[in-house]
Amino acid sequence: MTNSPAHEHKQDAPRSISCMVITCSDTRTPETDTSGQLIQQLLEEQGHKIVAYHVALDDPGQITHRIALGIWKYAAQIIIVNGGTGISRRDSTFEAVSKMLEKRLDGFGEIFRFLSYQEIGSPAIMSRAVAGIIEGRVVFSIPGSENAVRLAMEKLILPELGHLVKELTK
């Protein structure tokens, strides 16, 4: 596969990306946020830079404010939001992120749910993982469980970060 057109297309992609991590939770703190810590660890292991990290309440206003800060204050190229993607009354991350998207990357959510289904079965239908473009930045919104974070990061996000940033700068 190393000689595939997709591999060749990624060759000139940047190797280090400026990333922001936002955890949406009404109960987690930076000290107890194992999912946010895992995202940061996986990014740093791949040579990416964490330019900002925040824990925000699962509140649409706070979420959109943090994303805007990531774009304008921290100049993050990639923003990864975790938590608040379920269907409970307090889960509002999907609505907040979706309203901001200028372009959607529908394949991300579709493939994430498919891979989740392979691991956990039918509860995967309750995931509202979503991704897209806001102001020339890629934003991923993923569930907050460690297993979901690892799946999204290792199978979908990390392999494409540089390629996504390269495509956005064309």
Which residue ranges form the domains of the chain, and what is each CATH number? Answer: 14-168 (3.40.980.10)
pLDDT value at position 15? Answer: 86
Q: What is the pLDDT of residue 71?
A: 97
User: Which phi and psi (to 5°) does residue 51 adopt?
Assistant: -90, -20
pLDDT of residue 135: 96
Give residues with Cβ within 8 angstroms of 129, minimum separation 6: 85, 108, 109, 112, 113, 140, 141, 142, 143, 148, 152
Number of CB atoms found within 10 A of residue 75's CB: 12
User: What integer pLDDT is reported at residue 8 of this predicted model?
Assistant: 63
Backbone phi and psi for residue 156, each to the nearest 5 degrees, phi listed first: -125, -50
Q: Which parts of the chain sit beneath pLDDT 70?
A: 1-9
Q: pLDDT (tens digit, 9 = 90+) per residue, 28-48?
A: 999 999 999 999 999 999 999
In contact, 144 and 25? CB cutoff 8 Å = yes
Rounded to the nearest 10 degrees, the angle between the axes of helix 93-100 and helix 60-72 is: 40
Residue 126 has what DSSP assignment? G
The two counts, helices (H) then strands (E), for the chain are 7, 6
- Model-level pTM? 0.93
* H helix runs in 73-145, sequence order: 93-100, 106-120
3-state secondary structure of 8: helix
- Please report the pLDDT score of residue 4 as a whole number: 63
